């Protein structure tokens, strides 16, 4: 089977990838990038093609379930604008810092500059 072939994927996996791809396109992601991300998501959730001979048959049900839950958790965090684990405060813009300060209920945040927000957030998390 040539690399990139989708012969080992079930119809359900193909539909799932198509819906994910459409979602990315609606958000303005280029078509080729949207397709790549969609198939990467399907592979992450199912371990590969589920038809006979596909690598998805070797992936345990528990691992597939864990991957689905992980993917759902990350998607929900993205919708809530929660910073990803390990994302540095310095990499955030002032609006993101302000939102984080609002969630942590830091007093005086509306009058703070970016550097002051960084210091207050560091102090609050320490």
Q: Pinpoint the alpha helices (H) of 47-113.
A: 61-79, 94-103
Residues 17 and 65 grouped into a single domain:
yes
| CA contacts within 13 A on the Cβ side of 26 | 7
Which residue range is the domain that position 111 belongs to? 89-124
Token pair belonging to 49: 């093609």
**pTM for this structure?**
0.50
Q: Which of 33, 12, 5 is nearest to 21 (CA)?
A: 33
Q: Are residues 18 and 74 in the same domain?
A: yes
15 and 68 belong to one structural domain: yes
Quote the CA–CA distance of 42 and 35 in Å, as a whole number: 11
Split into its structural domains, the chain has a count of 2
Digit-by-digit pLDDT tens for the chain (126 residues) are 456 778 788 888 999 999 999 999 999 999 999 999 998 888 888 877 777 777 767 778 888 888 888 888 877 777 776 666 667 888 888 988 998 899 889 999 999 999 999 999 888 877
115 plus 67 within the same structural domain? no
């Amino acid at each position: 089977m040539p690399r990139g072939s989708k012969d080992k994927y079930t119809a359900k996996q193909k539909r799932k990838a198509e819906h994910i791809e459409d979602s990315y396109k609606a958000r303005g992601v280029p078509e080729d990038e949207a397709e790549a991300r969609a198939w990467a998501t399907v592979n992450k959730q199912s371990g590969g093609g589920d038809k006979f001979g596909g690598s998805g048959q070797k992936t345990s049900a528990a691992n597939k379930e864990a991957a689905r839950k992980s993917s759902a958790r990350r998607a929900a965090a993205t919708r809530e604008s929660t910073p990803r684990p390990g994302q540095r405060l310095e990499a955030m813009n002032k609006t993101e810092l302000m939102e984080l300060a609002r969630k942590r209920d830091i007093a005086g945040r509306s009058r703070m500059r970016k550097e002051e927000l960084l210091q207050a957030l560091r102090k609050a998390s320490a």
